[in-house]
């Protein structure tokens, strides 16, 4: 029986090739699974409609009056409630409590002051003086150009030369013809300067147009932010009034400690009751509180 001396090496090569093929198949399979996951993953984007739904949901959440903590933050579960409200207002929007809604609210909170400063008066914060904008620069360059043309039109006059010409006037037909036929000579440098100024003005006008368009976009964004700011301010005022309910009820004479606790709790649990309580004159609050204790 003959033994092939290359047989051990052949077996090793086949095992190595099999192992490489199995690794390649596994990598291809993992890539296919990753691509499938990418296709099935929803693409969530915030736009005008989504922001409107979020603001409306925040207003509804404010009416419930029990999702705001004392540190001006939302309580646990508030973003889940916002997710439910947004799904009701904008079905199949795909917005989840985390990370979509939570990150959007935090982003709008953080950028509110920045955008308000950007759209505020165009002033130098260091000196308080007005900053030169694109339109101001265009007007300044136009004035400089008009001033340069006037300087070119006015020729300096030598008084001594005038006196000499008065004493010995020399006027000939050739000199008159030469003076009339000779066109004004413009230095080459002034032409280049004028062309450069015109190009600068055109560039500044184009830049000013782009700034105006950007301002319109930012104005739409700031409208949403102002709505959110009004919501946060209203919620902060409501929270402060809820903290004052017990002190106001304790001012009513003839109430026991138990009655003060019961009445304060009923009023503080309902934001509408809080607003109504503070709109009443002090004489009417006694009747209102006693009606709650019945």
Q: Give 141-184 as a DSSP string.
A: HHHHHHHHHHHHHSPP--HHHHHHHHHS----HHHHHHHHHSPP
The encoded tokens of residue 138 equal 């265009």
Spell out, as residue ranges, where the chain has pLDDT lower than 70: 1-43, 65, 67-72, 112-113, 115-142, 144-190
Q: How far is CA 53 from the centre of its chain?
A: 18
CB atoms within 10 A of CB 275: 12
For residue 258, what pLDDT is reported?
92
Where is 89: in which H helix or E strand? Answer: helix 78-89
For residue 288, what pLDDT is reported?
92
For residue 178, what pLDDT is reported?
46
For residue 289, what pLDDT is reported?
92
Contact 134, 204 (CB under 8 A): yes
- What are the DSSP calls for 25-79, one per residue? HHHHHHHHHHHHHHHHS------HHHHHHHHHHHHHHHHH--SB-TTSSBPTTHH
Contact 63, 81 (CB under 8 A): no
Q: What angle do CA 145, 150, 155 make, to 5 degrees?
A: 135
Closest CA to 135 of 72, 90, 201, 194: 201
Q: How far apart are CA 241 and CA 254, in angstroms?
A: 23
Q: How far apart are CA 144 and CA 30, in angstroms?
A: 69
């Amino acid at each position: 029986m003959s033994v092939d001396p290359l047989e051990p090496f052949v077996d090793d090569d086949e095992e190595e090739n099999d192992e490489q093929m199995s690794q390649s198949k596994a990598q291809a399979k993992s890539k296919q699974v990753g691509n499938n996951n990418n296709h099935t993953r929803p693409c969530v984007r915030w736009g005008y409609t989504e922001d409107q739904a979020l603001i409306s949901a925040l207003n509804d959440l404010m009416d419930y009056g029990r999702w705001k903590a004392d540190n001006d933050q939302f309580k646990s579960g508030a973003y889940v409630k916002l997710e439910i409200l947004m799904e009701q207002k904008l079905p199949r929007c795909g917005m989840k409590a985390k990370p979509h809604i939570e990150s959007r609210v935090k982003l709008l909170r953080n950028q509110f002051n920045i955008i308000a400063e950007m759209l505020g008066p165009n002033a130098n914060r260091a000196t308080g003086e007005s900053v030169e904008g694109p339109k101001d620069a265009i007007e300044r360059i136009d004035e400089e150009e008009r001033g340069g043309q006037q300087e070119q039109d006015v020729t300096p006059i030598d008084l001594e030369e005038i006196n000499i010409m008065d004493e010995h006037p020399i006027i000939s037909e050739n000199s008159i013809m030469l003076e009339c036929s000779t066109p004004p000579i413009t230095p080459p440098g002034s032409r280049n300067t004028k062309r450069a100024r015109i190009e600068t003005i055109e560039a500044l006008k184009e830049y000013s147009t782009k700034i105006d368009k950007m301002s319109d976009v930012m104005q739409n964004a700031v409208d949403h932010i102002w709505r959110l700011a009004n919501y946060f301010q209203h919620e902060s005022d409501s929270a402060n009034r809820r903290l004052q309910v017990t002190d106001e009820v304790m001012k009513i004479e003839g109430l026991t400690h138990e009655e003060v606790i019961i009445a304060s709790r009923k009023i503080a649990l309902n934001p509408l009751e809080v607003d109504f309580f503070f709109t009443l004159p002090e004489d009417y609050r006694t009747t209102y509180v006693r009606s709650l204790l019945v």
